[in-house]
Structure 1
């Protein structure tokens, strides 16, 4: 793919979950895609709200942008997706990688939802590896990058690549690979695919946990990642990475919102259908995962 496209990329940092959502715009046509939007959750009240997603809407309207796509990179385990909320507001199609059906099947069984349609029909389009589509006049390419989850994809648009949890900023390394369907060795191979992109490719990550207390950052380049990433810089071997990742993951607690979030995100950001009293309910599996002890 040509690097001649240089999309305008604006990141929005969600402090509660350390997530980054993006608006990727074609400067010529003023058309854009929204990538990995976040739906807010008051954790104590278990009440959703749209303050963060409405910031994205405000930015889009202020800039006079038209939205071609609302894109997910994978079903998130640490925050709710606002894809469905934005679809209702913008009437734009939603999309995710076609392997989302694998994640749906895993969690359909965990949540014991026998009637749940694990077929990806909750999105308007399912992308396969190598698929291409347009954001305004820009061509975008889908890269299948499993490992963090079985469904993870990256979007490459000109000189920009949106890699979400496959890579973090160089001083933070990489994301865990121990969720159901994840795999550290598969993640390594996905990372190497990304690091084989042209050195000046801009890398946009989906989280930043601000190592050392620095300000949040989410943009680097392939060259910077290869030189400085603490987990996968040039010279680190596959075996070293897999050993580090598996040992590290074994010490990490599960995300506090994982049981909540996957139940919403495997529905494309929709809450479960309300029961007769008008309220939606989440099922929380007990003792399905072993306790994580320090």
Structure 2
């Protein structure tokens, strides 16, 4: 069994997108793909998603799953566009998946149940080719947040960031600094050699290292590195100190630039709203980007 992980950074939103493959059987999954959107012009494009499709085609992968770690508030997901394009290329239609906690998020948006092909309960297992994947609930940033454990790799979404970036905000509906602290401790309890692949990276100006992708953004660090150096949740950090700092920090943050647009798409499983939404300008939509019924 051979595993491959391709990390693709989308710089406008700082999002890491991943393709995880069982290279022996050429089966793979996509994690947290980005649909490009210009808020000022209302133009939607698929440059980032098409880069993923090119990688998939070059390796001859069959995609079984398109996996979301949570309902993102800072970018639109390309899950349904990728599903449509891949369904044209391969016999198997990939499933768009997220954690079962999405129902709590959907409740705040009008009960959009059934928007996803599959919702994972905490602790559930599934396969990508011959690779076994396990779902872990990692609430705090959002209540629906999950991570994916695949081999000795954990795709953490926004439940923990690289040590010099540290942690994500918790002020969205259902968010909790207490829960985020608990989720970080759950991750730091894994063996120290395990790799934690983050959902975003916003490289500090003084970062010395560069990733293997040739950019300043770094897709992963190890559990051991996080325990030693994460400036918010390293070993020895007390719950009360973290909650106080995170709460005070969140109180001074502005909303993500694409919050309204992202939530209207992402709680629908990657489909655009069927009717106009105030504050969500759409002037151009590529073929294969679907709207909700």
Same fold (TM over 0.5): yes
Gaps of at least 5 residues in structure 1 are 109-116, 276-280, 286-294
Q: Distance in 1 between matches of 2:179 and 2:198?
A: 18
Q: After superposition, what is the alpha-carbon deviation per residue over 1:254-288, rounded to whole angstroms, capped at 9, x for unaligned?
A: 10110111011110111011x5xxxxx22349xxx
Q: Is the 8 A contact 1:7 1:157 kept in 2?
A: no
Shift of 1:30: 1.6
Shift of 1:118: 2.7
Shift of 1:27: 2.6
Shift of 1:6: 6.5
Q: How does 1:1-294 map to 2 (within 5 A)?
A: 7-90=3-86, 91-108=93-110, 117-119=111-113, 121-212=114-205, 214=207, 215-273=216-274, 275=275, 281-284=276-279
CA RMSD of aligned residues (A): 1.4
Query: Whose relative contact order is higher, 1 or 2, with alpha carbons under 8 Å and at least 6 apart?
Result: 2
Q: Distance in 1 between matches of 2:106 and 2:247?
A: 24
Residue matched to 2:288: none
Q: Distance in 1 between matches of 2:205 and 2:10?
A: 19
Instruction: Determine helix, strand or coil for the equivalent of 2:6.
Output: strand
Gaps of at least 5 residues in structure 2 are 87-92, 208-215, 281-293
Structure 1 consecutive aligned stretches of length 4 or more whose deviation exceeds 6 Å:
none
Q: After superposition, what is the alpha-carbon deviation per residue over 1:110-136, rounded to whole angstroms, capped at 9, x for unaligned?
A: xxxxxxx432x1111100000000001
Q: After superposition, what is the alpha-carbon deviation per residue over 1:65-84, rounded to whole angstroms, capped at 9, x for unaligned?
A: 11110000100000000011
Shift of 1:28: 2.0
Residue matched to 1:278: none
Shift of 1:107: 2.5
Q: Distance in 2 between matches of 1:168 and 1:129?
A: 21
TM-score (norm 2): 0.88
Q: Distance in 1 between matches of 2:181 and 2:109?
A: 24
